[in-house]
Amino acid sequence: MPPLCKMNPDDEASSPPSQRGVLDRAAQLLKLLATAGKPGMPLTILSQSTGMANSTVHRLLDNMCAQGMVIQHESTRRYALGPLIFELGLAASPMFDPRKIASPILGKLAEEVGDTVYLTVRSGADAVCIDRQEGPSPVRVLTLDVGSRRPLGLGAGGLAILAFLPESERNGLIQRLARCEPHYAGHSVEPLTAAVAECRRNGYALIRNKVNPGVSAVGVPVLNSFDQSFAAISIAAIDARMPADRIAMLANILQRHARLIRHKLSEMVHLVSV
């Protein structure tokens, strides 16, 4: 795995240690471990990807292991997310988790279209899959696991979220992704900018054979009360099930369901605030 955009080592050496700096670095490591899943990630890759010294990473990981935030597999010596992260996620889910509203809607949608439906939410410069509903199609495409994380713009859901962010924020993220993310390494901002423009023009994102060969996905944003994207729903299927006319049909269906999710979430927020 190529390194992410690194900090300047001189900055790390010259900056006085602070609680804010420790938390920022710990958060960097936790986000990386979230991309690795159950197998985890070795210390050397964590160090390369963050630009932190091995000794700094080792010290932070030791502290997080002691708190249960991280575990180390004995057989591979790789690090992975620990049980405390799961417990904290459960505690926070009633406040931040749209699945309670979205899951029944997406379950019916998966039955209707026959293919796999995903719900992703924005987390900084990433899109995180928080729900997956499988349709009855005999050929199922499972491109994302619940909890997996990708840079915005890489998949259909992430591209839909990126495209419907406020312009100034969107442009800054495009520059950052093109400069820092390994998935975009060596590419200029133009292809991502063009994909965002096409998504905004069509009202949906289309990804063909970009992330997984032989797989196409279409996604639309879920907007908040300010008409800004915070989540997306998408459908993935083998290319044979994604001719142009069906893509247009799926996009319309997704847009209708995204509006329904937005409406029900707004109702829920109103009830909580009363």
Q: Which domain CATH number covers 28?
A: 1.10.10.10
CA dihedral 16, 20, 21, 27 (to 10 degrees): 170
DSSP per-residue letters across 95-109: HH-THHHHHHHHHHH
| pLDDT of res. 79 | 95
CA distance 165 to 173: 10
Task: For residues 82 and 134, state if they share a domain.
Answer: no
Among residues 87, 119, 140, the one where a domain terminates is 87
Task: For residues 26 and 81, state if they share a domain.
Answer: yes
Residue 258 lies inside a defined structural domain of this protein:
yes
Task: For residues 70 and 191, state if they share a domain.
Answer: no
Residue 1 lies inside a defined structural domain of this protein:
no
Task: For residues 252 and 131, state if they share a domain.
Answer: yes
Residues contacting 184, CB < 8 A, separation 6+: 151, 153, 177, 178, 192
Residue 92 lies inside a defined structural domain of this protein:
no
Q: Where does residue 43 rank: exposed (0-12), middle (13-18), buried (19+ CB within 10 A)?
A: middle
CA distance 207 to 185: 19
Q: Where does residue 154 rank: exposed (0-12), middle (13-18), buried (19+ CB within 10 A)?
A: buried
| pLDDT of res. 95 | 54
CA distance 185 to 26: 24
Task: For residues 199 and 224, state if they share a domain.
Answer: yes
Residue 66 lies inside a defined structural domain of this protein:
yes
- Mean pLDDT on 243-260: 95
Structure token pair of residue 240: 């044979």
Which of the pair, 248 or 2, is modelled with greater confidence?
Answer: 248
How would residue 144 be classed by pLDDT, with cut points 50, 70 and 90? confident
| pLDDT of res. 124 | 85
pLDDT at 89 over 80: no
Task: For residues 34 and 55, state if they share a domain.
Answer: yes
Q: Which domain holds residue 49?
A: 9-87
Residue 3 lies inside a defined structural domain of this protein:
no
| pLDDT of res. 5 | 40
Q: Which domain CATH number covers 250?
A: 3.30.450.40
DSSP per-residue letters across 186-242: T--HHHHHHHHHHHHHHTSEEEESSSSTTEEEEEEEEE-TTS-EEEEEEEEEEGGG-
How would residue 166 be classed by pLDDT, with cut points 50, 70 and 90? confident
| pLDDT of res. 93 | 58
pLDDT at 161 over 70: yes
Residue 4 lies inside a defined structural domain of this protein:
no
Which of the pair, 105 or 141, is modelled with greater confidence?
Answer: 105
Task: For residues 245 and 126, state if they share a domain.
Answer: yes
User: Which H or E run contains 122?
Assistant: strand 116-123
Task: For residues 66 and 110, state if they share a domain.
Answer: no
If you average pLDDT over every residue of the chain, what do you get?
Answer: 83
Task: For residues 21 and 108, state if they share a domain.
Answer: no
Among residues 29, 52, 87, the one where a domain terminates is 87
Residue 105 lies inside a defined structural domain of this protein:
yes
Share of the chain above pLDDT 70, in %: 84
Among residues 27, 62, 87, the one where a domain terminates is 87
Per-position b or e across 170-185, b if 16+ CB within 10 A of its CB? beebbebbbeebeebe
pLDDT at 187 over 80: no
Task: For residues 168 and 216, state if they share a domain.
Answer: yes
Structure confidence by residue, pLDDT tens digits, 112-128: 999 999 999 998 889 99
- Mean pLDDT on 156-174: 90
- pTM of the full predicted structure? 0.66
| pLDDT of res. 97 | 66
In single-letter form, the type of residue at position 34 comes to: A
| pLDDT of res. 182 | 63
Task: For residues 77 and 103, state if they share a domain.
Answer: no
Residue 2 lies inside a defined structural domain of this protein:
no
Task: For residues 29 and 118, state if they share a domain.
Answer: no
Nearest to 123 by CA among 200, 230, 32, 2: 230
- Work out how many domains the chain is built from and give that number: 2
